[in-house]
C-alpha cells in the first residue's frame, strides 16, 4: 500500500539525500554522477549541495545516521572506472526477466538486455558487462548517462519544487522558453509538452487553429485548409494525429480510420511531387530536416528551400519535426540550419532534458496569435523539475565549442566508416552524430547488431531494418567513439 510522505518528513528526507550526496562527493566515492566532457554551465546549487557542511551540522541535530559506512564506501568504485557498481545475481536477473514477460505489455517485442547503470557513454547490463552506447536511448541522452551537471540540476530543483501544474508560473519554464526563442530566431512563443508525439500533435492543432482563425477573418475564400502533406519514410509519432502524418503503413493501418482531412505522402526530396500536392487546401506540411526512423535521410537544401516557398505561396504552415535531429545532434543547433531555411513551427523532444520526458513546440508570432486560452494544455508539461534540467542541457549543447565538437566527431566517424573495406557498406549518410550505415538487408544488419552487442557496443537500426543507425551521446570522448567504431568494423568484417 502506498502512503503519502508526511510533509513534516520532507525536509528530513531531503536532508538525508543531500547529505548522502554531499558526503559522497567529499569522500570522492559517489559513483552515480559522471564528470563528462561537456562544457559545464553549473546551475546554482541549493545550499545543501553548495555548502554540505552547513547541512551536516543542521542535520546532525536530528541525530540521524546517514553517512555511508566504511563497507559501503569500499563497495563502490570511483566514478570514472570501467566497472559496473551494482551487478545483479543470476537469480535476480532471471526473476526480473520472467516478471517482465508476465507484467509488461508485449508492444516492444522481445527485449533481452537488462540495463542497470550508465556513466558517460557507457551502460552496464545486470551482470556488469559494459557497452559503449551508440544509441543514447534513441538520441535522448545528449550528455550521456549520469552527467554530473545534469544530476546537480535535477537534485537542486528537486530540493525546491518539482511540479505545480500549469495553473501557475515557474521560473525554470519561463527561462527555458526564453532561451529556446533566443536560440531559434524564427520563433516567438513556446508550448511545452511531454514527448515527441505530443509535440507533433500540438503542432497539428496549432496549424488547424491558424487556418480556422484565417477562415473567420474571411482570408481563405473557399479553401478548406484541413489537409496535410508529409513524406514517405516519415516518422512523427504514434498518437492518432501524429500517426496520421507518419508514413509507415505497418504502424498506421491497424488503427484506421485516423485523423480526418486528407494526408498526402510525397516521395522524399522530390520537390516536383510536393509542388503537385501542396495547394490552398493544405493546412500544414510536416518534414524532418533529417529523417531518423525512416533510415537517416537528410533533406536536400533545395528541397527544404522549395518547401518554404510552396508554403509561403499556399499559406500552409511549414512544420519542421526536429524531435530527433534537433538540439545539436547534426552538428548545428537545429537541423534546418544546414539549409538556411526557417519553419513556422518546430517540434523538439528527445534530447531536450537529456533523459527526462519533455517536448516543445516553437512557433512564429502568427501561429501563436491564433491560440487562445483553453485551446490546448497538459498537466505535467513543462514542470519546473524537467525544465530546470532542460535549461542545463540546452546551455551545455548550445555552446559553440560543444557544437563544433559534435561536427568534428561526426566527420571522424564518417571518415572511419569510409575506410572500412569489404564492400558490405552500401552508403553512409547523415549529419553530425546522427549517421546511417546502409547495408543490403535487415538480415545483415541484425547480425552486425548482435555481434556488436556481444562485443560491447549498442547500435540502433532504422529504415526497413537495413540501416545501422548511430546516435551516440553528443559528448562521447573521441577515444570511446573510436573504440565503438573498432567494434562495428569488426562486426561488419565478420559478415565475410
Ligand X SMILES: Cc1ncc(COP(=O)(O)O)c(C=O)c1O
3-state SS, residue 233: coil
Regarding 236 and contact with ligand X (CB under 6 A), the answer is yes
* Cα separation values, 266 from 34, 233, 254, 270, 466, Å: 44, 10, 22, 7, 22
Pair type for strands 457-458 and 434-438: unpaired
C-alpha cell at 183: 536560440
Regarding 352 and contact with ligand X (CB under 6 A), the answer is no
Among 43, 172, 241, 292, binds ligand X (CB under 6 A): 292
Regarding 237 and contact with ligand X (CB under 6 A), the answer is yes
How big is the CA angle at 276 (ends 272 and 282), to the nearest 5 degrees?
A: 125
Q: List, in sequence order, every residue forming a beta bridge with 437; answer none if it has no partner.
A: 428, 468
In terms of CB distance, is 24 or 471 closer to ligand X?
Answer: 471
Write down the least CB distance from residue 236 to ligand X, Å. Answer: 5
d(CA 379, CA 165): 5
The dihedral sign for the CA sequence 61, 62, 65, 66: negative
Regarding 461 and contact with ligand X (CB under 6 A), the answer is no
Contact segment (CB under 6 A) with ligand X among 107-115, 149-157, 266-274, 285-293 equals: 285-293
Site for ligand X in 166-195 (CB under 6 A): 195
Write down the least CB distance from residue 198 to ligand X, Å. Answer: 7
Half-sphere exposure of residue 472, counting CA atoms within 13 Å on the CB side? Answer: 30
Regarding 197 and contact with ligand X (CB under 6 A), the answer is yes
Indicate the helix (H) or strand (E) that contains 458: strand 457-458
d(CA 187, CA 344): 8
Among 121, 148, 349, 459, binds ligand X (CB under 6 A): 349
Q: Which residue is nearest to ligand X (CB)?
A: 196
Among 324, 364, 383, 391, binds ligand X (CB under 6 A): 324
d(CA 465, CA 445): 7
Write down the least CB distance from residue 393 to ligand X, Å. Answer: 15
Among 156, 293, 344, 453, binds ligand X (CB under 6 A): 293
Residues in contact with ligand X, shown as a per-residue x/- string from 92 to 131 under the rule CB under 6 A: ----------------------------------------
User: How many CB atoms neighbour CB 344 within 10 A?
Assistant: 25
Write down the least CB distance from residue 134 to ligand X, Å. Answer: 16
Residue 341, preceding peptide bond in cis (omega within 30° of 0): no
Phi and psi at residue 290, to the nearest 5°: -130, 115
DSSP structural state of residue 145: B
Among 196, 306, 355, 436, binds ligand X (CB under 6 A): 196
d(CA 345, CA 329): 19
User: How many CB atoms neighbour CB 464 within 10 A?
Assistant: 14
In terms of CB distance, is 22 or 325 closer to ligand X?
Answer: 325
Regarding 321 and contact with ligand X (CB under 6 A), the answer is yes
Among 150, 235, 265, 303, binds ligand X (CB under 6 A): 235
In terms of CB distance, is 52 or 298 closer to ligand X?
Answer: 298
d(CA 52, CA 26): 9
Residues in contact with ligand X, shown as a per-residue x/- string from 129 to 158 under the rule CB under 6 A: ---------x--------------------
Regarding 431 and contact with ligand X (CB under 6 A), the answer is no
Regarding 244 and contact with ligand X (CB under 6 A), the answer is no
Tell me the site size for ligand X, rule CB under 6 A: 15
Residues that bind ligand X (CB under 6 A): 138, 195-197, 200, 235-237, 288, 292-293, 321, 323-324, 349
Amino acid at each position: 500500500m502506498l502512503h503519502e510522505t508526511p510533509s513534516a518528513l520532507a525536509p528530513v528526507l531531503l536532508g538525508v539525500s543531500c547529505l548522502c550526496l554531499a558526503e559522497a562527493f567529499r569522500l570522492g566515492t559517489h559513483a552515480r554522477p559522471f564528470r563528462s566532457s561537456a562544457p559545464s554551465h553549473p546551475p546554482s546549487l541549493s545550499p545543501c549541495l553548495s555548502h554540505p557542511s552547513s547541512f551536516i551540522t543542521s542535520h546532525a541535530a536530528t541525530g540521524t545516521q546517514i553517512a555511508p559506512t566504511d563497507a559501503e564506501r569500499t563497495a563502490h568504485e570511483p566514478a570514472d572506472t570501467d566497472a559496473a557498481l551494482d551487478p545483479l545475481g543470476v537469480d535476480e536477473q532471471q526473476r526480473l526477466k520472467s516478471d517482465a514477460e508476465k507484467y509488461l505489455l508485449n508492444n516492444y517485442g522481445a527485449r533481452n538486455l537488462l540495463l542497470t547503470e550508465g556513466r558517460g557513454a557507457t551502460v552496464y547490463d545486470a551482470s556488469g558487462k559494459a557497452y559503449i552506447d551508440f544509441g543514447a536511448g534513441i538520441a535522448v541522452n545528449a550528455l550521456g548517462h549520469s552527467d554530473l551537471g545534469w544530476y546537480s540540476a535535477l537534485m537542486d530543483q528537486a530540493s525546491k519544487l518539482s511540479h505545480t501544474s500549469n495553473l501557475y508560473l515557474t521560473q525554470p519554464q519561463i527561462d527555458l522558453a526564453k532561451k529556446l526563442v533566443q536560440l531559434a530566431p524564427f520563433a516567438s512563443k513556446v508550448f511545452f509538452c511531454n514527448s515527441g508525439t505530443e509535440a507533433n500533435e500540438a503542432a497539428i492543432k496549432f496549424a488547424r487553429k491558424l487556418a480556422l482563425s484565417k477562415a473567420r477573418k474571411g482570408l481563405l475564400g473557399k479553401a478548406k485548409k484541413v489537409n496535410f502533406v508529409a513524406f514517405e519514410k516519415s516518422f512523427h509519432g504514434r498518437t492518432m494525429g501524429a500517426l496520421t502524418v507518419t508514413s509507415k503503413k505497418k504502424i498506421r493501418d491497424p488503427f484506421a480510420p485516423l485523423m480526418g482531412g486528407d494526408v498526402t505522402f510525397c516521395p522524399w526530396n522530390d520537390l516536383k511531387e510536393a509542388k503537385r500536392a501542396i495547394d490552398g487546401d493544405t493546412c500544414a506540411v510536416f518534414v524532418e530536416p533529417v529523417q531518423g526512423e525512416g533510415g537517416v535521410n537528410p533533406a536536400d537544401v533545395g528541397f527544404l528551400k522549395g518547401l518554404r516557398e510552396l508554403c509561403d505561396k499556399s499559406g500552409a504552415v511549414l512544420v519542421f519535426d526536429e524531435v530527433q535531429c534537433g538540439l545539436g545532434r547534426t552538428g548545428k543547433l537545429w537541423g534546418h540550419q544546414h539549409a538556411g531555411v526557417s519553419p513556422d513551427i518546430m517540434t523538439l523532444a528527445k534530447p531536450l532534458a537529456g533523459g527526462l520526458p519533455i517536448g516543445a513546440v516553437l512557433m512564429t508570432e502568427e501561429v501563436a496569435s491564433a491560440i487562445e486560452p483553453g485551446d490546448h494544455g497538459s498537466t505535467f508539461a513543462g514542470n519546473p523539475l524537467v525544465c530546470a534540467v532542460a535549461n542545463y542541457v540546452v546551455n551545455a549543447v548550445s555552446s559553440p565549442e560543444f557544437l563544433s565538437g559534435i561536427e568534428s566527431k561526426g566527420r571522424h566517424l564518417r571518415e572511419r566508416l569510409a575506410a572500412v573495406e569489404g564492400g558490405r557498406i552500401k552508403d553512409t549518410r547523415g549529419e553530425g552524430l546522427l549517421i546511417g550505415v546502409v547495408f543490403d538487408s535487415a538480415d545483415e544488419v541484425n547480425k552486425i547488431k548482435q555481434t556488436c552487442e556481444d562485443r560491447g557496443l549498442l547500435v540502433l537500426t532504422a529504415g526497413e531494418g537495413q540501416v545501422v543507425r548511430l546516435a551516440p551521446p553528443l559528448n562521447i570522448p573521441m577515444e570511446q567513439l573510436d573504440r565503438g567504431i573498432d567494434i562495428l568494423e569488426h562486426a561488419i568484417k565478420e559478415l565475410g
